[in-house]
């Protein structure tokens, strides 16, 4: 038996899907209902603009049903890239300006040199886009269009990664820092608690997010105020990454963000190879992230990877789902891989929840079964664990996660997140990436694992 324990002793089988066909059709309908004619909204009520990593997940799902829409989803997002390579986390839809806070006026992107004509935020999200582009390409049926798509996307994706690797390495130690919890995509994770001690915003604002979703499922007012203050601070630095080390109060190295960057570099190497470019620089970049992840974010006591402050040795002391993202790293030492799988199967995660995988260790004081990113199960993080477990040579664990995810969606619908203990759906309804990644998990099972 491989290290890390047996999966069948800790995960109860979720039971067969009642109807794969029905789930598939419902997923396609959800993505169609959220399509504006140009992009797919994460949710019509809660998130009325285009979000960066949402669009990458959405494209991965669309690849199963519409190559054309999948390509448009990604290329449309890439059109909003800034000249320094940053890919903004929100591309605003002017018609919905009043219904989401912070709106485009908050970021004032158009007053910054090198920004696109469309209004955007000034921060980023985890770079899942290279994996999305490779998935869309490998699933394509119209080869001519697919080659054009790949050739157009590649230099933009390479610039996106260069921005992160060159401009966001605040510590100079080989990892990209996030400058705001929103950049992690796991906004309210307890992983950020030790680093959010800064001042609250003095500005008066009205939260729109709690109009559609119960406040107990969203961040607290104190956390929200800290988010606004940090975003204002970065904006007032002119989004100048050269000023981060000396002037910005939140520069954090996150294992999920960096593992996705590593995986993205391997996907870029594969894309470069197919296009006849040199893949070697991308593989070298991926290897450098591999070394830095182990040197800086591995926590021997917890047996997982944790977030740390880029400028001090302060680390998050909580095991979260982000710690499993380095399973995407093909060079992970065996003892690290086995400890990660052991923790994943433990009562803190798969072994202790009927509807896994919780985003925070169930035994951690910060675990909250309802509140967004502080404990609930999410489809995108399950999807990453699914791929990570496959790459780590544990198809048994991968298929347990896949089956649990699909059973949860069948039971509770395409909600944004789910109670890991009783499976209750929470957050937004008809949430796009829950539908899109279900399509990918139900589909041909095509998961590129470039080595
Ligand atoms: C959530 O984040 C936004 C801010 O970006 C929000 O709460 O208003 C996160 O779950 C994030 O990962 C996601 O991309 C976004 C849209 O689905 O919603």
Distance CA 281, CA 202 (A): 45
Catalytic residue flag (residue 97) = no
Report which protein residue has its CA nearest ligand 1's atom 5. Answer: 182
- Asked whether 53 lines ligand 1 (CB < 6 A), one says yes
Instruction: State the closest ligand 1 atom to the C-alpha of 184, by its place in the atom list counted from 1.
Output: 12
- Asked whether 42 lines ligand 1 (CB < 6 A), one says yes
What is the reported pLDDT for 21?
87
Q: Classify residue 48 by its DSSP letter.
A: -
- Asked whether 47 lines ligand 1 (CB < 6 A), one says yes
Catalytic residue flag (residue 187) = yes
- Asked whether 209 lines ligand 1 (CB < 6 A), one says yes
Distance CA 377, CA 53 (A): 18
Query: Are β-strands 90-91 and 425-426 bridged in parallel, bridged antiparallel, or unpaired?
Result: unpaired
- Asked whether 54 lines ligand 1 (CB < 6 A), one says yes
One DSSP character per residue, 148-207 reads: HHHHHHHHHHHHHHHIIIIIS-TTSSS-PEESSHHHHS-TT-GGGGGG--SPPP-S----
Q: How far is the CA of 185 from the centre of ligand 1 (A)?
A: 6
Burial of residue 299 (CB within 10 Å: 0-12, 13-18, 19+) is middle
Q: Which of 185, 206, 375 to mutate to test the pocket of ligand 1 (most atoms within 8 A of CB)?
A: 185
Q: How far is the CA of 242 from the centre of ligand 1 (A)?
A: 26
Q: How far is the CA of 47 from the centre of ligand 1 (A)?
A: 8
H or E stretch including 221? helix 221-236
What is the reported pLDDT for 359?
98
Instruction: State the closest ligand 1 atom to the C-alpha of 100, by its place in the atom list counted from 1.
Output: 8
Q: Classify residue 113 by its DSSP letter.
A: T
Over residues 24-62, the pLDDT tens digits come to: 999 999 999 999 999 999 999 999 999 999 999 999 999
- Asked whether 185 lines ligand 1 (CB < 6 A), one says yes
- Asked whether 427 lines ligand 1 (CB < 6 A), one says no
Instruction: State the closest ligand 1 atom to the C-alpha of 378, by its place in the atom list counted from 1.
Output: 10
Q: How far is the CA of 382 from the centre of ligand 1 (A)?
A: 17
Distance CA 268, CA 338 (A): 28
Instruction: State the closest ligand 1 atom to the C-alpha of 121, by its place in the atom list counted from 1.
Output: 5
At 444 the three-state DSSP class reads: coil
- Asked whether 309 lines ligand 1 (CB < 6 A), one says no
Positions of the chain with pLDDT under 50: 1-3
Report which protein residue has its CA nearest ligand 1's atom 12. Answer: 185
Residues found in the chain: 451
Q: What is the pTM for the complete model shown?
A: 0.96
Distance CA 55, CA 47 (A): 12
Report which protein residue has its CA nearest ligand 1's atom 17. Answer: 42
Catalytic residue among 187, 193, 208, 232: 187
Instruction: State the closest ligand 1 atom to the C-alpha of 209, by its place in the atom list counted from 1.
Output: 8
Over residues 201-240, the pLDDT tens digits come to: 677 788 888 888 898 888 888 889 999 999 999 999 999 9
Torsion of Cα atoms, 309 then 315 then 321 then 327, to 10°: 80
Report which protein residue has its CA nearest ligand 1's atom 13. Answer: 185
- Asked whether 85 lines ligand 1 (CB < 6 A), one says no
- Asked whether 51 lines ligand 1 (CB < 6 A), one says yes
At 230 the three-state DSSP class reads: helix
Catalytic residue among 241, 416, 419, 430: 416
Instruction: State the closest ligand 1 atom to the C-alpha of 46, by its place in the atom list counted from 1.
Output: 8
Instruction: State the closest ligand 1 atom to the C-alpha of 43, by its place in the atom list counted from 1.
Output: 17
Q: How far is the CA of 144 from the centre of ligand 1 (A)?
A: 34
Q: Which of 187, 374, 431 to mutate to test the pocket of ligand 1 (most atoms within 8 A of CB)?
A: 187
Q: How far is the CA of 51 from the centre of ligand 1 (A)?
A: 8
Q: Classify residue 60 by its DSSP letter.
A: H
Over residues 240-262, the pLDDT tens digits come to: 999 999 999 999 999 999 999 99
């Amino acid at each position: 038996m491989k290290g890390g324990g047996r999966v069948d002793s800790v995960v109860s089988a979720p039971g067969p899907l009642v109807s794969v066909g029905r789930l598939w059709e419902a997923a396609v309908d959800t993505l169609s209902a959220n399509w504006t004619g140009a992009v797919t909204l994460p949710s019509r009520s809660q998130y009325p603009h285009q979000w960066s990593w949402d669009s990458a997940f959405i494209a991965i799902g669309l690849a199963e049903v519409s190559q054309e829409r999948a390509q448009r989803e990604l290329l449309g997002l890439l059109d909003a890239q800034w000249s320094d390579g940053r890919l903004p986390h929100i591309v605003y839809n002017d018609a919905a300006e009043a219904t989401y806070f912070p709106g485009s006026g908050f970021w004032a992107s158009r007053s910054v040199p090198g920004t696109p004509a469309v209004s955007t935020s000034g921060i980023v999200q985890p770079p899942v886009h290279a994996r999305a582009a490779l998935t869309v390409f490998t699933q394509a049926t119209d080869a001519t269009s697919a080659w054009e798509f790949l050739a157009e996307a590649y230099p933009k994706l390479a610039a996106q990664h260069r921005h992160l690797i060159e401009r966001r390495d605040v510590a100079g130690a080989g990892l990209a820092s996030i400058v705001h919890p929103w950049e992690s995509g796991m906004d309210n994770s307890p992983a950020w608690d030790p680093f959010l001690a800064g001042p609250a915003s003095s500005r008066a604002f009205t939260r729109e997010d709690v109009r559609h979703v119960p406040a107990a499922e969203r961040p607290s007012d104190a956390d929200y105020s800290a988010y606004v203050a940090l975003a204002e601070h970065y904006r007032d630095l002119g989004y100048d990454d050269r000023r981060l080390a000396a002037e910005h109060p939140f520069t954090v190295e996150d294992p999920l963000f960096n593992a996705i960057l590593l995986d993205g570099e391997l996907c870029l190497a594969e894309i470069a190879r197919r296009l006849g470019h040199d893949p070697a620089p991308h593989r070298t970049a991926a290897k450098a992230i591999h070394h830095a992840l182990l040197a800086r974010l591995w926590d021997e006591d917890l047996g997982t990877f944790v977030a740390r402050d880029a400028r001090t040795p302060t680390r998050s002391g909580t095991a979260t789902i982000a710690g499993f993202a380095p399973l995407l790293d093909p060079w992970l030492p065996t003892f690290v891989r086995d400890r990660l799988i052991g923790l994943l199967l433990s009562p803190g995660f798969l072994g202790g929840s009927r509807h896994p995988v919780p985003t925070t260790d169930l035994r951690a004081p910060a675990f909250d079964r309802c509140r967004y990113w502080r404990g609930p199960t999410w489809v995108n993080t399950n999807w990453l664990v699914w791929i990570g477990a496959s790459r780590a040579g544990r198809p048994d664990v991968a298929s347990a996660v896949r089956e649990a995810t699909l059973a949860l969606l069948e039971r509770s619908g395409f909600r944004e997140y789910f109670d890991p203990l009783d499976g209750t759906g929470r957050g937004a309804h008809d949430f796009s990436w829950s539908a899109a990644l279900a399509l990918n998990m139900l589909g041909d099972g095509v998961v590129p694992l470039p080595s």
